[in-house]
A and B are shown apart, each in its own frame.
Chain A
Amino acid sequence: MGRSEAVPSGEPDRPEVPEQRSGDGPYLQVRELRVRFDTEDGVVRAVDGVSFAVERGRTLGIVGESGSGKSVTSLAILGLHNAKRTTISGEISVGGRQLVGLREEEIRRLRGRDMAMIFQDPLSALHPYYSVGRQIAEAYRVHHPRAGRREARSRAVDMLGRVGIPQPAKRFDQYPHEFSGGMRQRAMIAMALVNDPDLLIADEPTTALDVTVQAQILDLLADLQEEFRSAIILITHDLGVVSQVADDVLVMYAGRAVEHGSVERVLRAPQHPYTWGLLSSVPSLHGDADADLVPIPGNPPSLINLPSGCAFHPRCRWADVNGDRSRIEVPELREAGQAGHLVACHLSAADRERIYRDEVAQVGVAR
């Protein structure tokens, strides 16, 4: 992917600031996105003021626990929420076009052509009664109405081949159930890429797959990105996946961004206690296997009834460092240590550095 080789930990001078880059600006720009659902039990603030940007040729990884608002964010970008029960505000601009407030059919025209999505479960996203190839060809013809049947077919066969399905012409006429899990995910990717979208959103694209197949799919995404230069959002709860393919990382907690920056910074010099918690709870292949893992205590909060102040405070070991501040005041997302590395936490830079060095680093990733 569009990332150069890994930088040694904490090296302080890579200008990984998507917002400040020169050139024609980021392809996707999301500002202060808020998504609310009205439910029987109350208002769910699934996404509450999230901002990020993704440039062509780069990959943004969004991580967070289940229910932290990752999928809701991506569905909002694609305009796939039920308008009746969802309130969306903020700005979403794709290729310079404002999407929030656009009419249904206008977004539909963009969907598939300018932006496409890969879902976690390819079996439910592919129609069981049509052949895989036909579904890809249809996806092509929706946005190329003048293309003939034959042209669409050859385009679909071509795409199947490109995503690494052997004998694509033969596979064209097979049905989703005749494909294995990994091949279905490849077919989904072929369908998403058939119109050369500039923005690709992959929601847990490999969670349902085995590690060996996951490795193939991640490689494939990286190769295709090099070829198509699309902007990619990769949603996952697996920090390992993020470390492999992302250029930038957005860490979400309870509908808000808590840390945002380049992958080197967020994984190598993490600043937020939640990110520390995530990193030290992952079982690793290195280090002392007999040491206990360090879990994040407690459970994620209900989005209907968020804790006051910093939503993470009931689970944070350092909530008391600044007196009552974490319980009262919502921390803003601020630059931490380096341009483009943002963190939402009341701890001072000095405290963060000391805590990370003395209490987290030995037990966390560097275990």
Chain B
Amino acid sequence: MSLSPVEGAALAEIESSDQEPDEKKRLVGRSPGQLVWARLRRDRTAMVSGVVLALFILAAVAAPLIQRLYGVSPNQQFGDLLDATGMPLGYVGGVSGDHWFGLEPGLGRDIFIRMIYGIRTSLLIALGAALVTTTIGVVLGIVAGFLGGVVDSVISWITDVALALPFLIFALAVVPTFSLRFYGPRDAVPTWFAVTTLIVVFAAFGWTGTARLVRGQVVSLREREFVEAARASGAGLGHMLFRQLLPNIWAPILVAFSLAVPSYVTGEAALSFLGVGLPESVPSFGRMIYRSIDYLQTDPAYVFFPGITIFALVLAFNLFGDALRDALDPKSSR
């Protein structure tokens, strides 16, 4: 008997399955990325923290422009606005129309513009370090997870060693030694050198988390049939790692990245606070907070402004990272 009309109907049905194209488009015609974006848009925390982050990044990028408009440079000293003991004149640490957040006690530099530059330094180091660590982590993790066996054991062993080293002691010991090798004790260490040193130190320790995360993801994905399908078609290692697997682990990598940035912001501040970070001339949160501690009693405004700003920056990054994680969560998808 000839049943092809029915079969034909079956196929026709599937082909014509998008009646009401608008309705359909709205419901299904979206890529996984668009779905995530739609979910982020609906999350108020994500939106607020995202806007705050955007403002911070804008301030960092546009720092020279802000300086031009504001009319004060970060290393300019306003000695005439300090009293005899070096404390800023006026209220709340010298807040005024010219100096929005007041002046530093002692040197009399403008706090607002130093903070704008501090954000720039902070974000530069944090984003740079996060980029380097993520790259190292992804490459090592993906290779270890996919190849398994000896390669996996060796990489896992290195990861464990890196995790076992105490970061702070290492940094305190290495950073000064490192600059001493290239510059004398009296020489001024150039800013780019200090920044690079910090990024390298962070990178040496920070990749372990990402590597473990990526390795775990790859282990769970590598037996998936879509990878097998590529292998069965004769795909090489590169294709399977970077074309098939990587697009599927962007989500956790992105989350790890956005949660790593704030930890480097605080890391940089901590090292600068301990005196092994950036030189005095470079505006930095760590330095500012370090100096402000001496004036906790006499000039609380000096602690307040940098403190609240770094708090807001780190909080915004963390909230955004968490929101991103929720938006990317496959359990709430589809």
Chain-B contact segment, one of A71-79, A92-100, A201-209, A288-296: A288-296
Q: Are B1 and A363 in contact (CB under 8 A)?
A: yes
Chain A proximity of B172: nearest CB distance (Å): 46
CB neighbours of A41 from chain B (8 A): 27
A363 to B10, CA, bound (A): 16
Q: Is the CB of B332 within 8 A of A295?
A: no
B165 within 8 A of A: no
Interface residues of B in 1-51 (CB under 8 A from A): 1, 3-4, 6-7, 9-14, 17, 23, 27
Closest to B4 in A: A292
Asked if A298 contacts B3 (CB within 8 A), the reply is no
Q: Are B3 and A297 neighbours in the complex by a CB distance under 8 Å?
A: no
Whether B17 and A298, one on each chain, are in contact in the complex, defined by CB atoms closer than 8 angstroms, is yes
Check if A295 sits within 8 Å of B7, measured CB to CB: yes
Q: A40-B332, A41-B27, A363-B1 are in contact. Are A295 and B17 (CB under 8 A)?
A: no
Cβ-neighbour of B13 out of A40, A291, A298, A363 (below 8 A): A298
Assess the A294–B6 pair: CB atoms within 8 A.
yes
Is A348 at the interface (CB under 8 A from chain B)? Answer: no
Quick check: B332 and A297 within 8 Å, CB to CB?
no
Give A362 to B1 CA distance when docked, in angstroms.
Answer: 10
Whether A295 pairs with B27 at a CB distance below 8 angstroms is no
Q: Beyond A41-B27, A292-B7, A317-B6, is A297–B1 a contact (Cβ under 8 Å)?
A: no
* A288 CB, min distance to chain B CBs, angstroms: 9
A315 within 8 Å of B (CB atoms): yes
A317: B residues at CB distance < 8 A: 6, 9
CA distance A255 to B17 in the complex (A): 21
A297 with B27: CB separation less than 8 A: no
Tell me the complex Cα distance, A299–B27, Å.
17
Q: Which residues of A contact B14 (CB under 8 A)?
A: 297-299
Task: Enumerate A305-335 residues with CB–CB distance to B below 8 Å.
Answer: 305, 314-315, 317
- Chain A residues with Cβ under 8 A from B10's Cβ? 295-298
Q: Do B1 and A291 have beta carbons less than 8 Å apart?
A: yes
Asked whether B6 lies within 8 Å of A297 as measured between CB atoms, the reply is yes
- A94-130 near B? 1/0 per residue, CB < 8 Å: 0000000000000000000000000000000000000
Contacts of A297 in B (CB 8 A): 6, 9-14
Contact indicator per residue, chain B 296-333, by CB within 8 Å of chain A (1) or not (0): 00000000000000000000000000000000000010
Q: How many residues of A contact B (CB 8 A)?
A: 17
Contacts of A292 in B (CB 8 A): 3-4, 7
Least Cβ–Cβ distance between A244 and chain B, in angstroms: 28
CB distance from A366 to the nearest CB of B (A): 13
Chain B interface size band reads 10 to 19
A295 to B8, CA, bound (A): 11
Closest chain-B Cβ to A349's Cβ sits at a distance in Å of: 24
A40 to B41, CA, bound (A): 14
Contact B9 A363 (CB under 8 A): no
How many angstroms from the CA of A291 to the CA of B1 in the assembled complex?
7
Closest to A291 in B: B1
**Measured between alpha carbons, how far is A302 from B17 in the docked complex, in Å?**
12
**Nearest-CB distance from A296 to chain B (Å)?**
8
Distance in angstroms between the alpha carbons of A291 and B7 in the assembled complex = 12
Instruction: Please determine whether A363 and B3 come into contact, CB atoms closer than 8 angstroms.
Output: yes
Of A40, A297, A362, the most chain B CB neighbours within 10 A belong to A297
Q: What is the bound-complex CA distance between A41 and B23, given in angstroms?
A: 13
What's the least CB distance linking A274 to chain B, in Å?
Answer: 15
| Minimal beta-carbon separation of B8 from chain A (angstroms) | 9
Is the pair A299, B6 in contact by a Cβ cutoff of 8 Å? no
- B4: chain A residues at CB < 8 Å are 292
| Residues in chain A near residue B13, CB distance under 8 A | 297-299, 314-315
A residues in contact with B17, CB < 8 Å = 298-299
Say whether A294 contacts B3, CB under 8 Å.
yes
Task: Tell whether, in the assembled complex, residue A295 and residue B1 are in contact, meaning their CB atoms are under 8 Å apart.
Answer: no
Q: How far is the CB of B28 from chain A (nearest CB, A)?
A: 9
Which residues of A, 14-40, contact B by the 8 Å Cβ criterion? 40
Nearest residue (CB) in A for B38 is A40
- Output the least CB separation between B9 and chain A (Å): 5
Cα(A292)–Cα(B9), bound, Å? 14
Give the docked Cα–Cα distance between A296 and B23 (Å).
25
| Complex Cα–Cα for A363 and B2 (A) | 10
Instruction: Give Cα A314–Cα B6 distance, bound, in whole angstroms.
Output: 13
Residue of B nearest to A362 (CB): B1
| Minimum C-beta distance from B12 to chain A (A) | 8
In Å, the complex CA distance between A363 and B332 comes to 43
Taking CB atoms, residues of chain A closer than 8 Å to B27 are: 41, 302, 305
Q: How far is the CA of A305 from the CA of B22 in the complex (A)?
A: 14
Q: How far is the CA of A40 from the CA of B42 in the complex (A)?
A: 11
A244 to B9: give the CA distance in the assembly, Å.
32
Q: How far is the CA of A317 from the CA of B9 in the complex (A)?
A: 9
- Residue from A40, A291, A296, A305 in contact with B3 in the complex, judged by beta carbons closer than 8 Å: A291
A-binding residues in B (CB < 8 A): 1, 3-4, 6-7, 9-14, 17, 23, 27, 332
**29 A-B interface contacts by CB (under 8 A):** A41-B27, A291-B1, A292-B3, A292-B4, A292-B7, A294-B3, A294-B6, A295-B7, A295-B10, A297-B6, A297-B9, A297-B10, A297-B11, A297-B13, A297-B14, A298-B10, A298-B14, A298-B17, A299-B13, A299-B17, A302-B27, A305-B23, A305-B27, A314-B13, A315-B13, A317-B6, A362-B1, A363-B1, A363-B3
15 more A-B residue pairs beyond the given contacts A291-B3, A297-B11, A314-B13, with a C-beta to C-beta distance below 8 A: A41-B27, A291-B1, A294-B6, A295-B7, A296-B10, A297-B13, A297-B14, A298-B10, A298-B14, A299-B13, A299-B17, A305-B27, A362-B1, A363-B1, A363-B3
State the A residues within 8 Å of B (CB): 40-41, 291-292, 294-299, 302, 305, 314-315, 317, 362-363
List 5 A-B pairs, minimum CB-CB distance, nearest first: A298-B13, A297-B10, A297-B13, A297-B9, A292-B3
